[in-house]
Chains A and B, each alone.
Chain A
């Protein structure tokens, strides 16, 4: 037996020591990624986990009870206390490496330079603490130069762009300095690093890879880069700051794809983003989230009042505004209808929650739309309504949707990320940010109990046959063995293998066409787009 084989056998018997790397999620915050982390750790009981969680502020209490196989929890704080005064100069070599990293951001071909500079900074951080040492005039000058280079005045596109200011450079430098902090932490000494997202979560993984050769597995639920593009909104940051920061994130996520041994997006659709940002298709292994079927049962009972249910984090990416506009339209046609919104807002999103509450008031929804906060039992929440809605503008493979489907609920969801792959026809899909279309879909389902029954049954069948927790865990277990040198034996779900239940779907489609779509206005040339969004491409399944 070779040494590698012996080591592999040892791992098989004792389990691996895995560093689970997260940012802004497990174990401090609720949400789909945290659910996934908890399921993964508990489901991989032979393996031991060290959780590295990147948080905004220190002193936060975990909201998840850590499973027994979590060995330790490390928190890396991005905000909070910075050195109160700026050093006049950075240590030798550090300034050169940092300026190289910053300069690469303005270069369309600067990704490799960025990665090398990142590596240099990591090496230097092993020799001396770099906390706060990058806030120098030289760093500020470098950021200002990059900002100017990114908006060349002679370029016609940017002739109207505002001149970047010292305040812009200062803000961008503060942000970059903080985002790099996880790289300067002591790297995990483990058998494997598993990042729950790209971006900042990979930084400890990069360190472990460079210091100890530790393999890195990278899960991408939503697409980190896409969500950064959406959150670095023009109404929040100036063009100069956005330019620098989004370039930083683009190159950082690219770096993650280069170093990771395997990249596991949560859906097939999201592979497009990975490939567009330079991820080798050979390394991409889509792995769908799974539902623990035991926890989700069907119920034939429905509330007395027509009720829509929405469950999730109150977050701009979940587009609660569209939800409220949708409900306002539903209520116009069905005055007795209710909307129950389950979920909380993080501290950072309290403003967004207030905005949504204010919108609900301005739409005069009164008591018919209620923000009910945290819910103990998500199953009870799903069964509290006739249909379950998902209004997100960006998603990976949303738990809300597959759990609701597993509970036998009819769903209306936006066509984002892996939603289409999840429903596979067993649910209605509408374009994002389109309350009109979503309201129409809701009304169809609310008015037709038998249609809800058919859709709900099809949905549950689909989840139980395709997206169970056991399947998901088996694939991850297999992936772990592969990247750590073990021999893969578990079956791996191949791409394009997901299918729909033909019989149930045909029944659903016929029903829908007969009752609803036939009423479309034939003069509306866009009905083709409508029907496409409503009936889905996967009717009958894309059988191999």
Chain B
């Protein structure tokens, strides 16, 4: 049997037979040549030594390759591994060993537009339900369902992200079920209250609850990046809605929509049956954060509801609202696209510059690019919607379109702030927004004894504009800070 040594044989100047096994023999000068030859026989060790930050790192590496204190003393004549490491560190030139590439946040892509469509298309399906059950008079169904589920979905997504940060996947199923159950209960209570004020049947309540649960379920699927499953689930509703244009009655088409909603709920609950449940624990900070996001979501819902409410009342038909909401719905995906691109550009800037001022300039430029792209696209699509409204002589259309555009811009800015971690600033902006809106409505009520729908729309426009101005003011120093963005995904 032969033992094969991967190390090079010692040349002259190396340890002699006479001193080979003498652990106490110390030669301070050391056999640098022998030591370096020994190291150079292993490319991995060379890499470690050449990329070391100091000689102690070299010492740690030498030990792991078998050069213990005893061996460096007996074979290479150094008093200890640290002395040998110093020689190696001073001799071997630095080599830059590049770390494994970390995934950078990806740029936005056309698929993000599709994600936006996933939010927008159900509005069409909802119309089928409304027409099917003859609920057109009860405009409050959408606002109540939307406001509640927007809030709860935001709150539960905070809890979900917190669990992900703790590698807790066993609680996912419990969270999904809780999200839908909570939304259903809140929608039920809110719908009962609104029904008692504005009127309606128990069908209205049931539709409101169903809408809320559907939105909650779809947001769970999107949270789990199961957009493709969501698309598959929505196919029956799409087919039913198209058939309702001539082939099927609205009542028959509504069953397709119900089937889709059921599939989405089943999809979201899919993990409930599969996984073992575990009760998650959340710190006080996380619970507080979830509450803030609940407020943020409810705020978004209320703003949207105000447009729906005043718009429907003012135009006496849902056509004006549908045309005005079009540009916002169409550009929902663009918000996602531009947000991703902003993150990606800032991450790239952070990895390329060593100057904080330069980074701030690049972040500002990326921010301007994303906002300009969104606002520009919204303006173009709104102009097209304006033309359609003018051709069809839709009342209040210009004011409604302008209002929805302002709302869209304020939502996009809020999205940027939220993704940057500035939820507190968003809540401050919402506070200003609602102050402006309520003040305007109150002023009209005091002077005329009622609130006119066009004043209501104007109030939303003023409030949204106030939100935009507040966001611009609050952006100072925040959105150009390196702490605002991630350098890797």
Tell me the A residues contacting B by CB distance below 8 Å: 57-59, 79-81, 84-86, 88, 135, 137, 140-141, 144, 148, 150, 156-167, 169-171, 225-226, 229-230, 234-239, 242-243, 246-247, 250, 269, 272, 276-277, 347, 393-394, 415-416, 431-434, 436-437, 440, 516, 519-521, 524-530, 532-533, 537
A416 touches B64 (CB 8 A): yes
B96 touches A162 (CB 8 A): yes
Smallest beta-carbon distance A185→chain B, Å: 15
B65 touches A433 (CB 8 A): yes
By size class, the interface of chain B is: 35 or more
Question: Of the candidates B66, B99, B352, which one forms a contact with A433 in the assembled complex, judged by CB atoms under 8 Å apart?
Answer: B66
Binds A, one of B188-196, B443-451, B480-488: B480-488
A238 touches B74 (CB 8 A): no
* Given A166-B356, A276-B59, 17 new contacts (CB under 8 A): A58-B166, A58-B283, A141-B356, A144-B356, A161-B94, A166-B351, A170-B350, A226-B63, A236-B99, A393-B64, A431-B65, A433-B64, A434-B66, A520-B2, A524-B4, A526-B5, A533-B66
Binds A, one of B16-24, B208-216, B312-320: B16-24
- How many Å lie between the Cα of A246 and that of B82 in the bound state? 16
Question: Of the candidates A79, A137, A434, which one forms a contact with B6 in the assembled complex, judged by CB atoms under 8 Å apart?
Answer: A434
- How many Å lie between the Cα of A519 and that of B2 in the bound state? 7
Q: A170-B350, A276-B82 are in contact. Are A516 and B70 (CB under 8 A)?
A: no
A84 touches B289 (CB 8 A): yes
Smallest beta-carbon distance B384→chain A, Å: 38
Smallest beta-carbon distance A147→chain B, Å: 8
B354 touches A144 (CB 8 A): yes
A167 touches B350 (CB 8 A): yes
Q: A88-B477, A166-B350 are in contact. Are A440 and B3 (CB under 8 A)?
A: yes
A79 touches B53 (CB 8 A): no
B359 touches A225 (CB 8 A): no
Question: Of the candidates B48, B166, B356, B422, which one forms a contact with A137 in the assembled complex, judged by CB atoms under 8 Å apart?
Answer: B356
Assess whether B286 is interfacial by the CB under 8 Å rule.
yes
Q: A85-B422, A532-B21 are in contact. Are A59 and B93 (CB under 8 A)?
A: no
- How many Å lie between the Cα of A226 and that of B57 in the bound state? 8
- What are 29 contact pairs spanning A and B, CB under 8 A? A79-B165, A85-B420, A85-B483, A140-B483, A150-B53, A159-B94, A160-B96, A166-B353, A166-B359, A167-B488, A170-B483, A226-B60, A234-B51, A235-B99, A236-B100, A237-B99, A276-B56, A394-B63, A432-B64, A433-B65, A433-B66, A436-B4, A436-B6, A524-B5, A525-B10, A529-B7, A532-B74, A537-B23, A537-B70
Smallest beta-carbon distance B211→chain A, Å: 31
Which residues from A are CB-within-8-Å of B96? Answer: 160-162, 239
Which residues from A are CB-within-8-Å of B51? Answer: 234, 239
Smallest beta-carbon distance A394→chain B, Å: 6
Tell me the B residues contacting A by CB distance below 8 Å: 1-7, 9-10, 17, 20-21, 23, 47-48, 51, 53-54, 56-57, 59-61, 63-66, 68-71, 74-75, 80-82, 93-97, 99-100, 162, 165-168, 280-281, 283, 285-286, 289, 347, 349-356, 359, 420-425, 477-478, 481-484, 487-488
Q: A81-B283, A269-B69 are in contact. Are A234 and B64 (CB under 8 A)?
A: no
- How many Å lie between the Cα of A88 and that of B478 in the bound state? 9
Which residues from A are CB-within-8-Å of B349? Answer: 166
Question: Of the candidates B17, B47, B71, B422, which one forms a contact with A234 in the assembled complex, judged by CB atoms under 8 Å apart?
Answer: B47
- How many Å lie between the Cα of A347 and that of B57 in the bound state? 26
- How many Å lie between the Cα of A242 and that of B162 in the bound state? 28
A85 touches B421 (CB 8 A): yes
Smallest beta-carbon distance B307→chain A, Å: 30
Smallest beta-carbon distance B219→chain A, Å: 20
B66 touches A229 (CB 8 A): no
Smallest beta-carbon distance B364→chain A, Å: 14
Which residues from A are CB-within-8-Å of B20? Answer: 528
Which residues from B are CB-within-8-Å of A277? Answer: 56
Q: Which 6 A-B pairs rank lowest in CB-CB distance, beginning with the nearest?
A: A431-B66, A84-B421, A86-B483, A167-B487, A393-B64, A229-B60
Smallest beta-carbon distance B10→chain A, Å: 6
Which residues from A are CB-within-8-Å of B95? Answer: 160
Question: Of the candidates B65, B74, B82, B355, which one forms a contact with A432 in the assembled complex, judged by CB atoms under 8 Å apart?
Answer: B65
B481 touches A86 (CB 8 A): yes
